[in-house]
């Protein structure tokens, strides 16, 4: 059985942080496939992924468990992120480490210069 969460980052202006909102949940158990939430994030039923073990293209009807297991490799742009949360039969290939969840730190701007070009001290 494989359970995959598909989440989208949403900036919360009130807290000033990015929150990861669940868009869809994919559960594959053998030939059974259950998708809940916003199914449009998975495209149509012919949406295929590349199997990282065989390099073959798979649609959800070919092998639902392998298809679901490879969803994180199909969503890498950042607007949607897929993550395997349960996998009872993980592949024998190394798994990439999870991306950091912290926002990058933006450095302070350099000190301003006056009209003569001299840098003013703070």
The sign of the torsion formed by the CA atoms of 108, 19, 76, 3 equals positive
Q: Locate 42 and state its tokens.
A: 């998975």
Residue with tokens 């807290």, as numbered in its chain: 15
Contact 80, 71 (CB under 8 A): no
Report the share of the chain in percent with pLDDT over 90: 36
First to last CA, the chain: 60
Radius of gyration of the chain (CA): 21
Q: Are 20 and 9 in contact (CB under 8 A)?
A: yes
Instruction: Kindly report, residue by residue over 89-108, the tens digit of the pLDDT.
Output: 887 765 566 666 676 677 78
Asked if residues 112 and 26 have their Cβ atoms less than 8 Å apart, the reply is no
User: Which secondary-structure segment (H or E) carries 9?
Assistant: strand 2-12
Question: Does the structure show a pLDDT above 60 at 12?
Answer: yes
Q: Is the pLDDT of residue 32 over 90?
A: yes
pLDDT tens-digit map of 109-118: 787 766 666 6
Q: Which residue has the tokens 């939430």?
A: 37
Instruction: Please tell me the predicted confidence (pLDDT) of residue 121.
Output: 61
CA distance 91 to 70: 10
Three-state DSSP at 120 gives: coil
What pLDDT is recorded for position 92?
72
> Is the pLDDT at 40 greater than 80, yes or no?
yes
């Amino acid at each position: 059985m494989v359970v995959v969460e598909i989440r989208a980052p949403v900036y919360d202006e009130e807290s000033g942080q990015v929150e990861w909102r669940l868009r869809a949940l994919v559960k594959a158990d053998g030939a059974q496939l259950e998708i809940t939430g916003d199914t449009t994030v998975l495209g149509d039923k012919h949406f295929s992924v590349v199997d990282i073990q065989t390099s073959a293209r798979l649609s959800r009807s070919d092998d639902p468990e392998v298809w679901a297991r490879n969803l994180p490799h199909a969503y890498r742009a950042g607007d949607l992120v897929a993550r395997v949360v349960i996998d009872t039969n993980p592949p024998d290939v190394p798994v990439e480490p999870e991306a950091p969840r912290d926002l990058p730190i933006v450095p302070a701007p350099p000190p301003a210069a006056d009209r003569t070009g001299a840098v003013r001290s703070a």
